[in-house]
Structure 1
Amino acid sequence: MHLKFTSTFFTLFLALLATNINFAQNGEIEIVGTVIEQSGGQPVAFATVLVGDKNTQKGITGTTTLDDGTFSLKTDAQNYFIEISFIGFEKKRFDNLVPANGRIDMGQVKLNQDAQQLSEVVVEGEVSRTQFKLDKRVFNVGKDISSTGASALEVLNNVPSVNVNIEGQISLRGSQGVQVLINGKPSILTGEGGNALGTITSDMIERVEVITNPSAKYDAEGTSGIINIVIKKEEREGFNGSISLNTGSPDNHSFGLSLNRRTERFNLFSQLGAGYRELPNDVENINRNLVDGTSIASVGEEFRNEEFYNIILGTDYYINENNVLTLSGNFAYEIEDQPSQTKFEARDAANQLVSEWERTETTEATNPKYQYELQYKSDFKDHEDHDLLFSALGNFFGKDQSSDFEDVTISGNDQDAVQRTRTEFKEAEYTFKLDYTRPFSEEWTMEAGGQYVMNDVSNDYEVEDLISGLYVPDTNLTNVFEYDQKVFALYGTGAYEGEKWGIKAGVRMEQTNLNTLLKNTNEENDQNYSNLFPSAHTSYKFTDKVSMQAGYSRRVYRPDLWDLNPFFNIRNNFNIRQGNPDLQPEFTDSYEVTSIFILEKASLNASVYHRYTTDVIESINTLEDEVNISKPENIGTNKATGVEFNAKYSPLKWFTATTDLNYNRFVREGGLDTLNFDFNADRWSAKLMTKVKMPADIDFEATGNYQSSYETVQGKTSDNLFLDLGARRKILKGKGVVSLGVRDVFASRVQESEITQDTFSTYSRRQRGRFITFGFSYGFGKGEAMEYSGRRR
């Protein structure tokens, strides 16, 4: 009896135990823990915690860690494993975990950095490559060695189709009518003759978009197209940052710090920068009067020394998963010092020295720059590309400059003189933009929007001469120039993009109101005009490796402040440039056909293009009292037809070559007063870049550039050949990079031009010389290498 009872009790106990076990297995289990770094013990935010099925090895459920590294999730799985991972760290997998009271507490899970994975991320992120889209080419800026630590101007010089000359002037396929944007919008950093672009370093640039035939969605400004520089805005989850230090000769020293903090609702980003650089320039000029045989020659060294400070602060606020509000601000401050010494010689008809003197300049200037933006983006739930974007952008640039000039006679006729100039410059620009994109299906998309741009400028310029111990204003050179331009635009486009064929067409209407005023003399110029700017693009994909594109757009170049302002800098008072307030805008019709080939170890594309421009603006030189005066004028039409070839070839894992060839033939027709400027000419350029991976984890790069000589409306510009070299090595498990660059290795980048007319000739030569740079950069945060841009929202 007792044995039977015991047996019955034991059987009931086993049944209850089995029931309890089965209940636990079929019930919900809570899994908790904290993920930290093995070295340092810092919490790892946004690490992935995956619960997977052992049989299928596929994920069942998962979550990500919070800012403090903690996580919590629930599962009712029975046969499972847990895997914890984060980019740049070794994965950890846990099997056969036993719950206690329906809960698994994993405690602290320590992740080790994965050096191999970090290296792979760096390699993936460092490749600069070109992507082709329906209406533009996208050059993704990696870590090109010759660009490391360089400015945006030097990065642009490595972009296919783009050239930047020694003066910082940007040209696209040989034409300087280019509109440069930053993040798709006008910026104070692109409006000062290109110099301010030097405050943007290559580490800050994510990609460069080259748009040779922009669609109607884009601003119609820029006769040869648009270059859009897209700045990185780190969105890696958690806390991330990078630091860079650069030094060089001539003096070129800078420090940069980028910080980013990402939470579920906020993305806080900031960039800080400071530096000092010297830009020496050897200059030579000769003015010859062919009527009486006299000449004025000058040779000297000019400097543009800059101390600069930048700060960018901004935040993205994710209202919800479909709406984002962004507020950002940028402040830059430059302190300029421009010393120069120029030696002059005046000679008579027999080439005998008549007078010799030296002109010394001392210039100081401060340049405050502000930019602020409010942007709202709404993504509609029905389609990922259905969105509405509104932005309000404000820019301000100021310059407070004073210059002192002293001429001291060395021999011959007395040339002693003292002058001083004062400049107070203020510019404010406001841009309001609304863009709406609506996909009707996977193939059909509509775009519509509007833009309003207000540009208000005041330039107070004064020249004074020291006479009998007193400074007396030169009324012929002193005035206040005011410039007020407003442009209102509306656009609409429609696009179809199928599996093989795509087409996009649209039209843009722009209304321009321009007013300029010379206050002292009350000379006023008003221009009001409306224009339509149609565009059309098409592409056809023959195979995955062969496709073609064709495009047309109409563009405008509106004379800017520096084209219109009749006053000038008298640094060299025998070679001056002045504006023309009567200039009219020039218009261009642009056509292009491009073929694209993707091969196993190479990619190449060839383009044929044609541009027809009316009311062409050219600088026309005249000689008055031995002074060479350059002034922009509308002089007629220009027809340019060209071919372009770009190729990239990687026959070996350690070797890559990239080439860029461009040739165009142009026909000029026009004149000014009694001068005839009809002529035909051609020009071409070539660029070859080679990259070699060497032992000891060293990367080496060489970039050669050649720009042919070409005829101008009055003379000729010489050819140009120069070479850049660079070397780089990754250190500190791939999170740090040291680099060495030499630009213009042989100091052969010389800008020479000569003008020959019936009554006079001029010769000009400018050279910057060799630049050597050394840089170090380091990325910190959740173990990601600096070159890796991270996951995007």
Structure 2
Amino acid sequence: MKKLLVQVLTACSLMLYCPAAIAQQGTVTIKGTVVEESNGQPIAYATVMVGDNETKKPIDGTTTMDNGSFSLETDASDYYIEVSYLGFKTKTFGPPPTQSQTIDLGRVALSEDAEQLQEVVVQGEVSRTEFKLDKRVFNVGKDLSTTGASALEVLNNVPSVNVNIEGRISLRGSQGVQILINGKPSIIASEEGNALGTITADMIEKIEVMTNPSAKYDAEGTSGIINIVLKKEERKGLNGSISVNTGAPDSHSVGVSLNRRTENFNLFTQLGLGLRDMPNDLETRNVDLINNTTILSNGTEYRNETYYNFVLGTDYHINDNNVLTLSGNFAMEIEDQPSNTSFVALDSDNAISSEWERTEVTDAKNPKFQYELQYKKDFENHEDHTLLFSGLGNFFGKDQSSEFLNTTISGDDNDSRQQTRTDFKEAIFTFKLDYTNPITDEWTLETGAQYVMNDVSNDYEVNNFTNGAFVNDPGLTNVFEFDQKVLGVYGTGSYEGKKWGIKGGLRLEQTDQNTLLVTTSSANDQNYSNFFPSLHSSYKFSDKVSIQAGYSKRIYRPRMWDLNPFFNIRNNYSVRQGNPDLQPEFTDSYEVTSIYILGPASINFGVYHRYTTDVIERITTFENNVSTSKPENIGTNRATGIEFNAKYSPAKWLTLNGDFNYNQFQRDGIFETTVFDFSNEQWTSKLMTKIKLPSDFDLEMTGNYQSSYQTVQSDVSDMLFMDMGLRKNIMKGKAVLNLSVRDLFASRVDESQIAQASYEVYNRRQRGTFVALGFSYGFGKGEAMQYSGQQRRR
């Protein structure tokens, strides 16, 4: 940015100082191409100046194009030509001895100026974090922006943010972070792919981290928001990356990301294809303590996918103050879900009464579309005076058919066949308008509105094989329709001085939610309006010590899969279903956070309190050895906790990053006749170590621990696991070889147990170790990256 700014200012000065009285002896065209002497690469935005030989003042001038070429006209007679670029030695040419209509300088090669480059580094700013009322802002300094690092590498330098070697982003140790580009959702940052590798550090101005968002943002609860703010004067040219990955269990992909920037257009695209296998080892135990009978099951479920992904979009810079963006994304997943589960029934004497196997064959196609239109206007009176409108559309479909076959091994006859069919469609449309007006340097007003429409239809059918033919089961067949519209409007006002600031806001959201079981005409309509206030304040003691306090009210609206009463019969002794009568849960969130910058270390320490009403939690009922899990609104939850995270780089080759989160909670509630009042605690910790080894090798090891904790019915076991990655930079950092191992010791096990007076239920799930090897190459200004065509998770 500094280089570009110098060239722009130089060009402007050339225009301003052009003398009015110049010799009128004809126009001369001067042209040529400016390149780097070391590698022949063209230099964009180099300055070409025509100067007066006597006064040494500029007469005419221009800057080079993306390919290094230039052409300018001059009427001067006694002049010289100067070609310069920051960090390179200047070249000077005198006028030719014979005057002609065209002067072709040809290939002008500039050599690097070591003294200039060293001076830039010394004077460059160092990246640092500061509090800005409702957010933490990480300003990207020259120590990062001149390295050519990717956006993912810059994010990994932000306190509380971690990016593992596969490109997964986490905030305060939790994934599921909402990533925004310039304050809005973007296909570049969507979960459908990873195009952040085409954004380089020199394009980023700052990164904003919001753990407790203000009223400007959706009241819908998330684990946090990260907003990547790009510089207005992005460098132009072609950025790109190509990656090839393979792994075990089978996971193979090829991805290409391209970004082309010109004077008025920014064109970006991504193509990806691959296949992956995702096995899950499952084990369940259902014990009827009244009849002393038990059903045991264990097996492996697979979700094998072939997927395709295509992204295409453009930014059109109408002029300096108006930008129009249009982008689209298409993806297709083709699923194959074979599974095999063994069942054993034990009688009251704990003897085997019967054994059988249940196999599944499932095929599905999942098309996905996403498109976006955005208009942004910058007002001339202030750089932060903006108007932003965006429209975002998403479509997801699933056309799935399954067949289940029970085969008796011994004992009672359990032979049976079942077929299911699912036709699922979901459309989400989001329209957003934001207006920001900085009245003075200290006072700012913001206002805006958002309208979200969510329309879902799930046509589900079960057929049983009876007397040689499949017969529909009307008790398990229906069409579930879900329609939700949320209108939100907000206003915020803030004062921000040099040391102290305060920001208050209020958001009003009106929700209209309707569910309908078409076949049985069972409807549930909810219509409610809520206010969501927020208040934030911060105080800066010094450049190294700051404190921030905040409050916001949040909401969690039940999703379609929380509400849909129908379930997958993959394991018909362990059933999960939705509840159309669910109410939203509300949370009042308070937190105080401090930040300390101590040389090579940054430390964040915070305390928080969250009070949640109508908490949604799954309740299990038990009948005939069948456990049915269903979400219910169960009372209130009060959680008070502390958070500590630190990043420390004692040497250039070593970086340590630790996260620790502890909270104690009090649950109060009643369901039917059962009282669920109890208190418990839980904590999580993570330690990530990055080591730069010789020969451009990077080693990364991450240890994770999640303590055991209690829910209203279950006891969830603790979990300890480690991930490891090894990366090798080749071809001067433009290419990367990457080896990663998830769950190195196969110790990541999800395990829970319900112990009630009349029954016990035990569940265990494990995915096992995953090994991946990848190669990626970045060209232009694009960084080598790992492509990840992430599937939509449900």
With the length of structure 2 as denominator, give the TM-score of the two structures: 0.85
Residue of structure 2 equivalent to 1:386: 385
- Alpha-carbon shift at residue 252 of structure 1 (Å): 1.4
Aligned to 2:513: 514
Shift of the 208–403 alpha-carbon distance from structure 1 to 2, 3 Å rule, reads farther
Give 1:259 shift.
Answer: 1.5
| Matched letter for residue 82 of structure 1 | E
User: Structure 2: how far apart are the matches of 1:405 and 1:70?
Assistant: 67
SS in 2 for 1:91: coil
Counterpart AA for 1:759: S
Which shifted more, 724-733 or 279-288?
Answer: 724-733
How far apart are the structure 2 equivalents of 1:627 and 1:205? Answer: 52
2:762 partner letter: Y
CA distance in structure 1 between the partners assigned to 2:236 and 2:356 by the alignment: 64
Amino acid corresponding to residue 486 of structure 2 in structure 1: V
In structure 2, distance between residues paired with 1:357 and 1:304: 23
Aligned to 1:701: 700
Specify which of 87, 91, 111 is matched with residue 88 of structure 2: 91
The verdict on how the C-alpha distance between 1:785 and 1:457 changes in structure 2, with shifts beyond 3 A counting, is: closer
Number of residues of Structure 1 aligned to a counterpart in Structure 2: 733
Letter in 2 for 1:777: S
Give the letter aligned to residue 749 of structure 1.
Answer: R
Q: Which amino acid letter does the alignment assign opposite residue 280 of structure 1?
A: P
- Residues 259/188 of structure 1: CA separation in 2 closer, same or farther (3 Å cut): closer
Residues 285 and 763, structure 1, Cα contact 8 Å, conserved in 2: yes
Residue 690 of structure 1 and its aligned partner are, at CA, apart by: 1.0
Deviations 1:123-173 (A, max 9, x none): xxxx9997754323578631879967736xxx13xx242335xxxxx5xxx
1:150 matched to 2:166? The reply is yes
| Structure 1 stretch displaced more, 478-487 or 64-73 | 64-73
> How far apart, CA to CA, are the structure 2 residues paired with 1:116 and 1:251?
52
State yes or no: 1:483 paired with 2:494. no
Identify which range, 63-72 or 320-329, moves more after superposition. Answer: 63-72
User: Which residues of 2 match residues 182-201 of structure 1 at below 5 A?
Assistant: 197=191, 199-200=193-194
Aligned to 1:680: 679
Distance 2:698 2:411 in 1: 58
Instruction: State the distance in 1 between where 2:686 and 2:499 align.
Output: 32
Alignment partners' CA distance in 1, 2:483 and 2:51: 65
The residue number in structure 1 matching 2:262 is 263
Who is 1:334 aligned against?
A: 333
Deviation at residue 69 of structure 1 after TM alignment:
3.1
Q: Which runs of 5+ in 1 are unaligned?
A: 1-21, 122-126, 165-169, 171-177, 191-195, 788-793
What residue identity is the alignment partner of 1:585? P
| Equivalent residue number for residue 455 of structure 2 | 456
Query: Does the Cα contact within 8 Å between 1:242 and 1:779 map onto a contact in 2?
Result: yes
Counting only pairs closer than 5 Å after superposition, residues 96-495 of structure 1 correspond to structure 2 as: 97-100=94-97, 101=99, 105-110=104-109, 133-137=132-136, 141-142=152-153, 150=166, 155-156=168-169, 159-163=170-174, 170=176, 197=191, 199-200=193-194, 203=197, 211-222=210-221, 225-228=223-226, 236-495=235-494
> What's the secondary structure of 1:414's corresponding residue?
coil
Partner of 2:737: 738
Indicate conservation of the 8 Å contact 1:204/1:232, yes or no.
Answer: no
AA aligned to 1:664 is N
Contact 2:602 2:648 in 1 (8 A): yes
Instruction: Tell me what 1:531 maps to.
Output: 530
3-state SS in 2 of match to 1:562 = helix
The aligned counterpart of 1:579 is 578
Aligned to 1:790: none
- Partner of 1:566: helix, strand, or coil? coil
Partner residue, 1:5: none
Distance 1:236 1:563 in 2: 46
For 1:485, the aligned partner's letter is Q
Per-residue CA deviation, residues 460-484 of structure 1 (Å, 9 max, x unaligned), is 0011111111111111111000011
1:428 partner letter:
A
Q: Paired residue for 2:711?
A: 712
- How far has the Cα of 1:211 moved from its partner? 3.0
Q: Is the 8 A contact 2:264 2:318 kept in 1?
A: yes
Note the C-alpha offset of 1:227.
3.9
8 Å CA contact retained: 1:246, 1:255: yes
Change (3 A) 1:748 1:115: farther
Matched residues in 2 for 1:425 and 1:94: separation? 66
Q: 1:664 to 1:253 in 2, by over 3 A?
A: same
Aligned to 1:634: 633
Equivalent-residue separation in structure 1 for 2:273 and 2:328 (angstroms): 17
Q: Which residue of 1 aligns with 2:145?
A: none
Q: Deviations over 1:75-111 (max 9, x none)?
A: 889998834448xxx8353146445549864211246
**By how many angstroms is 1:189 displaced?**
12
Q: Is the CA contact (8 Å cut-off) linking 1:717 and 1:753 kept in structure 2? A: yes
Alignment-mate amino acid for residue 90 of structure 2: R
TM-score after normalising by structure 1: 0.85
- Asked if structure 2 preserves the Cα contact closer than 8 Å seen for 1:205 and 1:230, the reply is no
Report the equivalent of 1:17: none
Alpha-carbon distance between aligned partners in 2 of 1:136 and 1:549, rounded to the nearest angstrom: 9
Contact 2:182 2:230 (8 Å CA) reproduced: no
Letter in 2 for 1:385: D
Amino acid at match of 1:375: Q
CA contact (8 A) 2:80 2:95 kept: no
**Deviation (angstroms), 1:350:** 1.4
Residues 287 and 455 of structure 1, relative CA distance in 2, 3 Å threshold: same
Aligned-residue sequence identity (percent) comes to: 62
CA contact (8 A) 1:188 1:369 kept: no
Instruction: Give the Cα separation in 2 of the matches to 1:416 and 1:117.
Output: 82
The answer to whether the Cα contact below 8 Å between 1:26 and 1:78 also exists between their aligned partners in 2 is: no
- Contact preservation (8 Å) 2:79, 2:94: no
Q: What SS does structure 1 have at the residue aligned with 2:534?
A: strand
Separation in 1 of the partners of 2:400 and 2:325? 35
Report if the CA contact (8 A) 1:188-1:396 is conserved. no
Distance 1:598 1:722, change over 3 A: same
> What is the RMSD of the two structures over their aligned residues, measured on CA atoms?
3.7
Counterpart in the other structure of 1:757:
756
Q: Is the 8 A contact 1:46 1:237 kept in 2?
A: no
SS at match of 2:65: coil
Judging changes above 3 Å, is the alpha-carbon distance between structure 1 residues 61 and 703 closer, same or farther for their aligned structure 2 residues?
A: farther
After TM superposition, list the pairs within 5 Å mapping 1:635-650 onto structure 2.
635-650=634-649
Q: How much has 1:29 moved relative to structure 2?
A: 8.6
2: distance between equivalents of 1:182 and 1:68?
Answer: 28
CA shift, 1:441, in A, is 1.5
Q: Which amino acid aligns with 2:174?
A: N
Using a 3 Å threshold, how does the CA distance of structure 1 residues 32 and 746 change in structure 2: closer, same or farther? Answer: same
How far did 1:422 drift? 0.4
The range that moved more, 136-145 or 596-605, is 136-145
* Map of 1:652 onto structure 2: 651
* Aligned-residue offset at 1:199: 4.4
Change in CA separation of 1:749 and 1:617 when aligned onto 2, cut-off 3 Å: same
User: Which residue number in structure 2 is paired with residue 595 of structure 1?
Assistant: 594
Which range moves more in the overlay, 38-47 or 654-663? 38-47
User: Deviations 1:628-661 (Å, cap 9, x if unpaired)?
Assistant: 1110000100000000001011111111101000
| Secondary structure of the corresponding residue to residue 348 of structure 2 | coil
> How far, CA to CA, are the matches of 2:364 and 2:225 in structure 1?
29
3-state DSSP of counterpart to 2:561: helix
Task: Answer yes or no: is the 8 Å Cα contact 2:171–2:224 preserved in 1.
Answer: no
Please report how far the alpha carbon of residue 44 of structure 1 lies from its aligned counterpart in structure 2 after TM superposition.
5.2
* Mapped partners of 2:77, 2:545: distance in 1: 49
Structure 2 equivalent of residue 772 of structure 1: 771
Larger mean Cα displacement after TM superposition, 92-101 or 252-261: 92-101
Structure 2 runs not aligned, ≥5 long: 1-20, 121-125, 139-150, 201-205, 786-794
